[in-house]
Amino acid sequence: MPLLIWATDDSRRKKDDVAVAAGSDTLLEEEALEAPKGEYAPAEPTPEPSTGKPSAKPSPTVDKPVRVPSSVPVSEPVKERKKAEARVEEHKPPELPPNTAAYAVQRLAASSPGRHICYRVHVKGAGWTTPVCDGATAGQEGKGRPITAINVAVADAKRVNGNEFVQKDGWTTEWSGAADGTDLVLGSAAANAPSLSGFTIGVESGNVCQNHKLGEHGWGGLACESPQGWIFGGSTEPQFWLEAVRFTV
């Protein structure tokens, strides 16, 4: 509300005028009073830079939910899991050469499940014979060609073990063995390999029987595995050598 100051020399008149002015809604003078411009006019406040530290934690913002059109396909989590699954590689057993005792016994066991033994011999000057099984003859009878190596494999016997007696040299190697369906080789197939005159053989499950023929001699007769877990066939005499063998389990 504007402040009105009235100055006069007559104090009495001043009092009366003031009293009249107080009870009236209009000014006593006809001219309206104006505040000098630029001195008392109100001004808009000027913002001042804040000296306080900004808030370290911004106010959270809430995203409005986005509506997915019905035409947009929804990803299938089941398929994504299938893609993330590791691939399992199948490990196939190594393929065996066809002219081995292991190959022969595997084929025989596949067509006729049960206990089997297959074998072949390496004949000096002639090489490996064709594998035979379950009591058939391996070797060349009456041709004067000694055996230098024996290849044996079993099925349903768990393991076959053996050693060879080298003519004139005796037992030259440690016992060795082979699990079902794998090859055990006694002796050597090298060109200059010495002849065999005897061998030992045994199986882990069941019994193995053998028969042998020495050069310039007949068959020695069927003999089976003894309680100690092996059977000897052939001779330990240096003048004898193996010419043919037969095995059964």
Q: pLDDT at position 21, please?
A: 43
Instruction: For residue 247, give the nearest of 139, 149, 137 by alpha carbon.
Output: 137
What's residue 56's pLDDT?
A: 44
What's the pLDDT at 227?
Answer: 76
pLDDT for 137 equals 97
Burial per residue of 49-84, b for 16 or more beta-carbon CB atoms within 10 angstroms, e otherwise? eeeeeeeeeeeeeeeeeeeeeeeeeeeeeeeeeeee
- Whole-model pTM? 0.62
Do 231 and 209 contact (CB within 8 A), yes or no? Answer: yes
Q: What is the pLDDT of residues 143-183, one digit of tens each?
A: 889 999 999 999 999 999 999 999 989 999 999 999 999 99
pLDDT, position 91: 53
The gap from C-alpha 248 to its chain's centroid, in whole angstroms, comes to: 41
Q: What angle do CA 7, 13, 18 make, to 5 degrees?
A: 65
pLDDT score of 92: 57
Concatenating the DSSP letter of every residue in 23-41 gives H-SS-SSSSPP-PPTTTS-
Burial class, 239, CB count within 10 angstroms (exposed 0-12 / middle 13-18 / buried 19+): exposed
Low-confidence residues in the chain, pLDDT < 70: 1-96
Residue of 167, 130, 132, 161 lying closest to 147 (CA atoms): 167
Half-sphere exposure of 80 (CA within 13 A, CB side): 4
